[in-house]
Copies of this chain bind each other. A is one copy, B any other.
Amino acid sequence: MTVEARFDELIHAPTRLSIVSLLTATEWAEFKFLRDQVGLTDSALSKQLTTLEEAGYVEIRKSFIGKRPRTSVRLSAHGQQAFAGHVAALQEIVARSGLAVMPSAQT
């Protein structure tokens, strides 16, 4: 599978970047988990998720655990591609800059 390097404004925005990158690592993630990880209010997260859903980047699953509603989210295939493409675009930028790219950054 070839990933086309494509800068994605929607994914680039800091909060959505964290949401999407969290999702790449978590399969189905729960609303509260995301909310706490990215540090947004319910309303703000809800809106971002709607935005991502409208772009076709995430799937939102509403299930009931016992009697309580539970919203879970995961990246769609399309979202994964967009993220991969965006990362590739960033890497091209970095590559142009001549900065060395390490496979994994240790702090």
Chain A residues proximal to chain B, CB less than 8 Å: 3-5, 7, 9, 12, 14, 17-18, 21-22, 24-25, 83-84, 87-88, 90-99, 101-105, 107
Would you give the shortest CB distance from A86 to chain B, in whole angstroms? 10
Q: Find the B residue at minimum CB distance from A94.
A: B87
Q: Is the CB of B97 within 8 A of A21?
A: yes
Number of this chain's copies in the complex: 2
Q: Chain B residues with Cβ under 8 A from A25's Cβ?
A: 96-98
What are 7 A-B pairs at a CB distance below 8 A?
A: A87-B101, A88-B105, A91-B104, A95-B103, A95-B104, A95-B105, A101-B102
Select which of B14, B91, B92 is within 8 A of A12 by beta carbon: B14
Inter-subunit contact B105/A21 (CB<8 Å): no
Chain B nearest Cβ from A6, distance in angstroms: 10
List residues of chain B with CB within 8 A of the CB of A9: 14
A5 and B105 within 8 A (CB): yes
